[in-house]
């Protein structure tokens, strides 16, 4: 029987906007349960129990802070397709269960993941928070559930449980580079957990962490420049404040890759230099163990990959790979055929419109035939909360400023209308745009609903979030293949790059302001009512329990007796006081004496406090 395996890999890549990308990839695999039983050596037992209890075929959970910049960081490569996620939490799962049992299993799954990763994933248990897409998100047979929490904050309390699933945690290996201040001060970071389960292959768990960092340009070394602004030089120590001193001892393989994009390779070719670790444009601080070259369909080199085997490094000889630029360089990453963005239109707290625009990036002219009959397909998947009541019949399409009929652009559509406090609205559309199009805009009208006071979040005045929409281009493939000279060389990271992945991108999260009640009014009503009731019942009880006859006799006796103050004045003047009179007077005047002492004590404390405060 196959044994459990664990691999760790790190990919480093310079970005055009003077930033650096670091992608951590960890894979844990377990054989089928019939072969291994319930005991595990490397694979996390919590994940194994999760798969067995809820009958999960496929699951993906991501925690993201920041938004992926598709214009600067790329939108047509496997990195952006597979690891660019919407802000907050995104969860989807495919169950191997009858359709009638999936919703109840989904609710139990969200509670389990919430406790496992210390997050608010349990908010996705409500039927108003998840949907069941058919083909717009991922083709399925009705056994897929999808939910998103755009406002979920991501911090170290989510990263720590994620690291505990690794055999060496962050104590050794590539995961030891995860210095918390470096990770969370970045422009973008997304931690993802993806698993696949089958009876024949067992369970495969992929844990990835994608971080976009700003290199420290002060401490980085820069060589001579002929003019212009150099890219910032960086190394692993500058990015993560430490060097890599070895691998995780139980890992089957541990590798570090440095990827050079096609734009840099083209500039190196123009300079007449060979694409090596030391050329006219840049130099790598450590010589790689092996270099791989990607070849496209025309057998032309597109990008380069330099590999470092962590087995060759230890605490005495740590790995600190970095890149130093020699000449100024400007390049760009390949983008998706259209840049999709979403925004709101209208004003007021009653109604508005959702608009989605598609701006051509010019990629269609390079990859497809731009004839008159040419068209590009785009699939849009969008989930809208129930309190945003979308009128799907109000859909309008504008191409290059001209209104078009729906039948000319929308090839296929599936809509699940929302139900008040029961279901969110889901829209899946297949669009066909002409290749010559430069800009397309879709608009939908909606009304804003009213919520019960208990349904508002603590920061209701900030607004309500509409999750990101997913736009995919089924005719464009984002796979990237690096021919391997060694047949025994198996890299899970490069295997994921080879998979046929559809180019896709997420839009912005929309912030919708809704009418909010005066949350202070219940407090005002409660305090006012309690004050009136206290005054009423206090007066009523005082009137009912008062004994008028005894009070009059007590007042008459008190008038016949000398009080405490006249006795004190008589003593100060040296006058004689009758003992019998004082004895008879003292019991009656005892409460008054206590009251007088309290008044004097309070006055003394006030004088001392006033004196000390002034001094």
> CA-CA distance, 378 to 358, in Å (whole number)?
10
pLDDT digits (tens, 9 = 90+) for 460-509: 888 899 999 999 999 998 888 887 656 667 889 998 888 878 999 999 99
- Which residues sit opposite 491 in a β-bridge? none
Is 142 or 298 the better-scoring residue by pLDDT?
142
- Which residues sit opposite 308 in a β-bridge? 256
Identify the weakest region by mean pLDDT among 40-49, 86-95, 210-219, 317-326: 210-219
* Among candidate residues 428, 443, 415, the one with its CA nearest the CA of residue 351: 443
Cβ-based neighbour number of residue 90 at 10 Å:
24
φ/ψ (deg, to 5) at 313: -130, 150
Q: CB within 8 A of 194, min separation 6: which ones?
A: 58, 59, 60, 61, 205, 206, 207, 208
Adjacency order of strands within the sheet including 234-235: 234-235, 322-325, 282-284
Would you give the end-to-end CA distance of the chain in angstroms? Answer: 85
Task: Pull the structure tokens for residue 420.
Answer: 């008040």
The answer to whether the beta carbons of residues 315 and 176 sit under 8 Å apart is no
- What integer pLDDT is reported at residue 486 of this predicted model? 63
SS3 state at 576? coil
> CA-CA distance, 237 to 244, in Å (whole number)?
8
pLDDT digits (tens, 9 = 90+) for 392-426: 999 999 999 999 999 999 999 999 999 999 999 99
- What integer pLDDT is reported at residue 588 of this predicted model? 47
The greatest distance separating any two alpha carbons of the chain, rounded to the nearest whole angstrom, comes to 127
pLDDT of residue 35 exceeding 80, the answer is no
> CA-CA distance, 212 to 38, in Å (whole number)?
38
The answer to whether the beta carbons of residues 256 and 12 sit under 8 Å apart is yes
> CA-CA distance, 528 to 520, in Å (whole number)?
12
Find tokens 């050329």 and name the residue.
279
pLDDT of residue 590 exceeding 70, the answer is no
- Inter-CA distances, 205 with 58, 196, 499, Å: 10, 7, 16
φ/ψ (deg, to 5) at 606: -65, -40
> CA-CA distance, 169 to 214, in Å (whole number)?
25
- On whether the pTM is more than 0.85, the answer is no
Identify the weakest region by mean pLDDT among 325-334, 418-427, 593-602: 593-602
- Mean predicted confidence (pLDDT) in 303-325: 92
The answer to whether the beta carbons of residues 566 and 585 sit under 8 Å apart is no
φ/ψ (deg, to 5) at 164: -65, -15
The answer to whether the beta carbons of residues 122 and 111 sit under 8 Å apart is yes
Is 601 or 239 the better-scoring residue by pLDDT?
239
Q: CB within 8 A of 560, min separation 6: which ones?
A: none
- What integer pLDDT is reported at residue 443 of this predicted model? 96
Task: Pull the structure tokens for residue 176.
Answer: 């030891």
pLDDT of residue 586 exceeding 50, the answer is no
Domains in the chain: boundaries: 5-218+229-256, 338-468+508-512
Task: Pull the structure tokens for residue 63.
Answer: 């925690």
pLDDT of residue 168 exceeding 80, the answer is yes
If you count them, how many residues does the chain have? Answer: 615
- What integer pLDDT is reported at residue 297 of this predicted model? 54
Mean pLDDT rounded to a whole number for the chain:
86
pLDDT of residue 285 exceeding 70, the answer is yes
- What integer pLDDT is reported at residue 231 of this predicted model? 86
- Mean predicted confidence (pLDDT) in 275-289: 86
Work out the pLDDT band at 230, boundaries 50, 70, 90: confident
- What integer pLDDT is reported at residue 302 of this predicted model? 80
Task: Pull the structure tokens for residue 368.
Answer: 């497809």
Q: What is the DSSP letter of 469?
A: P
pLDDT digits (tens, 9 = 90+) for 51-81: 999 999 999 999 999 999 999 999 999 999 9
φ/ψ (deg, to 5) at 363: -70, -30
Q: CB within 8 A of 31, min separation 6: which ones?
A: 1, 2, 3, 4, 202
CATH dotted code for 338-468+508-512: 2.60.40
> H or E segment at 536?
helix 521-545
- What integer pLDDT is reported at residue 211 of this predicted model? 96
- What integer pLDDT is reported at residue 520 of this predicted model? 82
- What integer pLDDT is reported at residue 299 of this predicted model? 45
pLDDT of residue 224 exceeding 50, the answer is no
Phi-psi region of 451 (alpha: psi -120 to 50; beta: other; left: phi over 0): beta
pLDDT of residue 591 exceeding 70, the answer is no
- What integer pLDDT is reported at residue 584 of this predicted model? 46
Cβ-based neighbour number of residue 591 at 10 Å:
10
pLDDT digits (tens, 9 = 90+) for 143-164: 999 999 999 999 899 999 999 9
pLDDT digits (tens, 9 = 90+) for 108-121: 999 999 999 999 99
Between CA 415 and CA 421, with CA 418 as vertex, the angle to 5 degrees is 160
- Mean predicted confidence (pLDDT) in 13-30: 94
The answer to whether the beta carbons of residues 356 and 375 sit under 8 Å apart is no
């Amino acid at each position: 029987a196959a044994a459990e395996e664990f691999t760790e890999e790190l990919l480093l890549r310079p970005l055009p906007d003077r930033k650096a990308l670091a992608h951590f990839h960890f894979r844990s695999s377990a054989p089928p349960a019939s072969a291994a039983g319930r005991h595990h050596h490397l694979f996390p037992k919590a994940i194994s129990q999760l798969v067995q209890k809820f009958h999960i075929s496929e699951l993906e959970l991501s925690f993201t802070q920041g938004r992926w910049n598709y214009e600067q960081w790329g939108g047509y490569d496997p990195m952006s397709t597979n690891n660019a996620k919407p802000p907050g939490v995104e969860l989807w799962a495919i169950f191997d269960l009858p359709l009638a049992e999936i919703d109840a299993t989904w609710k139990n799954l969200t509670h389990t993941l919430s406790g496992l990763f210390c997050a608010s994933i349990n908010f996705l248990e409500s039927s108003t928070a998840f949907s069941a897409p058919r083909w717009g998100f991922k083709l399925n047979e009705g056994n897929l559930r999808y939910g998103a929490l755009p406002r979920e904050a991501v911090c170290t309390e989510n990263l720590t449980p994620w690291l505990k699933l690794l055999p060496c945690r962050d104590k050794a290996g590539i995961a030891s580079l995860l210095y918390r201040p470096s990770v969370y001060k970045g422009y973008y970071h997304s931690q993802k957990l993806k698993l696949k389960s089958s009876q024949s292959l067992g369970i495969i768990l992929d844990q990835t962490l994608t971080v976009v960092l700003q290199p420290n340009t002060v401490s980085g070394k820069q060589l001579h420049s002929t003019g212009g602004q150099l890219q910032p030089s960086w190394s692993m120590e500058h990015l993560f404040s430490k060097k890599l001193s070895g691998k995780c001892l139980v890992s089957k393989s541990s590798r570090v890759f440095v990827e050079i994009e096609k734009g840099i390779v083209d500039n190196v070719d123009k300079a007449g230099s060979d694409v090596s670790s030391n050329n006219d444009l840049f130099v790598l601080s450590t010589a790689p163990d092996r270099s791989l070259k990607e070849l496209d369909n025309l057998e032309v080199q597109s990008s380069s990959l330099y590999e470092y085997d962590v087995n060759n490094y230890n605490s005495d000889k740590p790995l600190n790979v970095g890149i130093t630029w020699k000449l100024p360089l400007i390049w760009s990453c390949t983008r998706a055929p259209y840049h999709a963005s979403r925004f709101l239109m209208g004003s007021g707290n009653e109604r508005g419109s959702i608009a989605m625009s598609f701006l051509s990036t010019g990629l269609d002219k390079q990859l497809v035939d731009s004839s008159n009959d040419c068209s590009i397909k785009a699939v849009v998947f969008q989930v809208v909360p129930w309190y945003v009541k979308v009128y799907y019949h109000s859909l309008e399409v504008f191409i290059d400023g001209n209104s078009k009929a729906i039948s000319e652009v929308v090839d296929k559509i599936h809509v699940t209308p929302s139900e008040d406090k029961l279901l969110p609205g889901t829209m899946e559309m297949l669009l066909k745009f002409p290749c010559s199009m430069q800009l397309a805009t879709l608009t939908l009208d909606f009304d804003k609903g009213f919520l019960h006071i208990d349904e508002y979040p603590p920061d209701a005045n900030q607004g309500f979030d509409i999750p990101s929409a997913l736009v995919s281009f089924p005719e464009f493939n984002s796979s990237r293949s690096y021919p391997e000279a060694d047949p025994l060389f198996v890299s899970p990271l490069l295997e994921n790059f080879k998979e046929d992945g559809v180019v896709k991108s997420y839009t912005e999260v929309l912030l919708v302001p809704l009418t909010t009640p005066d949350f202070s009014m219940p407090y005002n009503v409660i305090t006012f009512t309690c004050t009136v009731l206290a005054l009423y019942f206090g007066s009523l009880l005082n009137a009912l329990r008062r004994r008028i006859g005894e009070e009059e006799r007590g007042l008459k006796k008190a008038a016949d007796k000398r009080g405490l103050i006249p006795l004190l004045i008589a003593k100060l003047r040296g006058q004689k006081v009758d003992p019998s009179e004082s004895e008879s007077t003292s019991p009656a005047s005892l409460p008054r004496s206590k009251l007088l002492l309290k008044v004097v004590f309070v006055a003394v404390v006030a004088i001392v406090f006033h004196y000390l405060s002034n001094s």
